[in-house]
Amino acid sequence: MTAQIIDGKQIAADMRAELQQEVAKLKEQGIVPGLGVVLVGEDPASQSYVRAKERACEKIGIYSDDNRLDADTPQQDLIALIKKMNANPKINGILVQLPLPKSLDESEVLLTIDPDKDVDGFHPMNVGKMMVGEETFLPCTPHGIIQLLIRSGVTLEGARVVIVGRSNIVGKPLLNMLIQKNPKGNATVTVCHTRTKNLAEHTRQADIVVAAAGRPNTITADMVKEGAVVIDVGVNRVEDATKERGYRLVGDVDFEAVKEKASLITPVPGGVGPMTITMLLYNTVESAKRAAGIETKK
């Protein structure tokens, strides 16, 4: 068996086309979804990521309010900017690009964002709503994973899922989303981590394995049962003298070996990554609809 590749780029493109149509319809009603973006400092990865988000907004018709701040920006100035965006009706979503410079209090910054504009889904109020199954903004990467699975025809109800990794960005929220009593959940979920004994015993029982450990080759072929679905969230740089830049990107899964046992598998790059920005756009559009009193998707 050779796995079918889950094409995250294509699924993301399909979703963005759907969002573009939604935005066009909203504009006919005088509603323009708006995203406020804050980038503090000059971290190259953050700059690249923010530029990609801004291009994506422009392409589907979302208004983007871009704010570039120096790395030595005082905490009170950043807080004041966020409060200004909270009060601005043109902005439906606020994105503060992380990580922030060490001189800034990240926790205070995130708590300052209006939960109704928290399109990253990181505010404790929205995390709490997610856990109890209330309607809220879902964190972008785990929500993107669920969209990849559903749009690839994978049945979540009753599935045995093993998540390798317990971060607040992927592992924990994905667990909470998959166990909810709704069509996007109803799975039986095990979360494994660095202190898990006999990791392979858990992963070999899984219908769906999600690798989000941040380490290359965490999941090898002997750890996956025949026909399993494998979602690789990891993005790791490994040295490669054959590449002009001196490295290549790999995930947490031994892709070449595991694809011979899995039924479906995501590549790195081109799998989960494109979905993260797409779900940020999705949340921004949903926020604009809520603000206008338009019924949103369940």
Q: Indicate the helix (H) or strand (E) that contains 249.
A: strand 247-250
**53 is known as an active-site residue:** yes
Is 21 labeled as catalytic in the residue annotation?
no
- pLDDT tens digits for range 88-105: 999 999 999 988 999 999
Does 3.40.50.720 match the CATH number of domain 140-274?
Answer: yes
**Whole-structure pTM value:** 0.94
**Cα gap 230→253, rounded to integer Å:** 8
pLDDT for position 43: 85
Helices and strands in the chain, H and E counts: 10, 11
What's the pLDDT score for residue 199?
A: 97
Q: State both tokens at 202.
A: 């858990």
Answer yes or no: 84 catalytic: no
Strands 93-96 and 34-40: parallel
CA atoms within 13 A on the CB side of 6: 30
CATH fold for domain 30-116 = Rossmann fold (3.40.50)
- Condensed to tens digits (0 to 9), the pLDDT of residues 253-284 reads 999 999 999 999 999 999 999 999 999 999 99
| Catalytic residue (one of 116, 118, 120, 252) | 120
Q: Are 76 and 109 in contact (CB under 8 A)?
A: no
* Residue 286 amino acid letter: E
pLDDT of res. 37: 95
- In the structure, what pLDDT confidence band is assigned to residue 240 with cuts at 50, 70 and 90? confident
Buried b / exposed e across 108-143, counting CB within 10 Å, b at 16+?
ebbebbbbbbbbbbbbeebbebbbeeeebbbbbbbb
Q: What is the mean pLDDT of residues 152-181?
A: 97
Domains 30-116 and 140-274 share a fold: yes
Mean pLDDT of 126-151: 96
Domain boundaries, the chain: 30-116, 140-274
Q: Give the per-residue pLDDT at 298.
A: 58
Q: Write the pLDDT tens digit of every residue in 177-224.
A: 999 999 899 999 999 999 999 999 999 999 999 999 999 999 999 999
pLDDT recorded at residue 297: 67
Phi/psi of residue 200, each to 5°?
Answer: -60, -30
Can you tell me the distance from the alpha carbon of 68 to that of 49, in angstroms, rounded to the nearest whole number? 13
Write out pLDDT tens, residues 32-88: 999 999 999 988 888 888 899 999 999 999 999 999 999 999 999 999 999 999 999
- Residue 237 pLDDT level (bands cut at 50, 70, 90): confident
| CA atoms of 281 and 174, how far apart (whole Å) | 19
For residues 217 and 229, is the Cβ–Cβ distance under 8 A? no
Nearest CA among 192, 159, 172, 97 for reference residue 130: 172
Instruction: Point out the catalytic residue in the list 53, 259, 261, 289.
Output: 53
| Confidence at 246, pLDDT banded by 50, 70, 90 | confident
